[in-house]
């Protein structure tokens, strides 16, 4: 699985989103990560479908939506119509998780499930075979610029083991505190997609920051591949 870089607009200049996104694209970004917060599941408010629709007009990259909301089923169709390509929802708020995953897929989108730092990996056991990706939060959700939680790598390993046992090669996305000092940690543990907010948008040069993250991520992925036992797929 190749490393993918997903700059997060949460840390971008909202008065110049198109400029920041264009710079990230020039740097080789693969996705644009959009954090949707409702002020209830997390203590913050961010964007709705009109912003996603505007983003769709200024970028060719897939829009990767992370719904940090109490009632995601209510909003999924509107975000799909606005131009989302991927939607992840939080297991912590969904008593009928399988139904929500099916809803996302029925709209032609990739379906992911996000895990808070304190949420056990085992809660994905019954849906592991159905997921297109898993989003591991390496900070508590709600705000950008937080410090990476060092235990996140072990959680990534546990998610990778769960998916492998389910026969699902779905990638693992990691969000929170990802920079040049932490990206290798989670990639060597088994992660594939990196959400990067402050380390890209606050760098002064988003294009160069994306390139540097990709270089560091590719090096870590090569180390991971070299460490695998013979006979295991890369």
- What are the catalytic residues? 35, 175
> CA distances (Å), 25 to each of 5, 101, 119, 130, 206, in order?
10, 29, 33, 30, 9
Which residues are CB-neighbours of 32 under 8 A, at least 6 positions away? 6, 7, 9, 21, 24, 55, 59, 61, 62, 63, 64
Residue 96 is classified by DSSP as T
Rounded Cα–Cα distance for residues 25 and 2 (Å): 17
Rounded Cα–Cα distance for residues 95 and 88 (Å): 15
Rounded Cα–Cα distance for residues 172 and 190 (Å): 7
Per residue, the 3-state secondary structure of 35-55, as one string, reads: EEEECCCCCCECCCHHHHHHH
Rounded Cα–Cα distance for residues 64 and 13 (Å): 18
- Could you write out the DSSP letters of every residue in 114-154? EE-TTS-GGGGTTTGGG-SEEEEESS-TT-SSPPPPTTHHH
């Amino acid at each position: 699985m190749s490393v993918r870089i997903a700059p997060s607009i949460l840390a971008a200049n909202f008065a110049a989103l198109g400029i920041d996104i264009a710079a990230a694209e020039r740097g080789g970004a693969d996705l644009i990560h959009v954090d949707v917060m409702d002020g209830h599941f997390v203590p913050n408010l961010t964007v709705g479908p009109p912003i996603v629709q505007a983003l769709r007009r200024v970028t060719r990259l897939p829009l990767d939506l992370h719904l940090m909301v109490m009632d995601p089923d209510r909003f999924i169709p509107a975000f799909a119509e606005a131009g989302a390509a991927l939607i992840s929802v939080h297991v912590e708020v969904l008593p009928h998780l399988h139904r929500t995953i099916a809803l996302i897929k029925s709209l032609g989108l990739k379906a992911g499930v996000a895990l808070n730092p304190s949420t056990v990996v085992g809660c994905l056991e019954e849906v592991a075979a159905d997921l297109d990706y898993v989003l591991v939060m390496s900070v508590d959700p709600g705000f950008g610029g937080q410090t990476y939680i060092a235990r996140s790598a072990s959680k990534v390993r546990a998610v990778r083991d769960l998916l492998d046992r389910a026969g699902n090669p779905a990638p693992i996305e990691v969000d929170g505190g990802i920079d040049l000092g932490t990206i290798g940690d989670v990639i060597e543990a088994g992660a594939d997609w990196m959400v990067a907010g402050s380390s890209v948008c606050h760098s002064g040069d988003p294009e160069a920051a994306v390139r540097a993250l990709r270089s560091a991520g590719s090096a870590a992925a090569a180390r991971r591949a070299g460490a695998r036992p013979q006979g295991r797929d890369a």
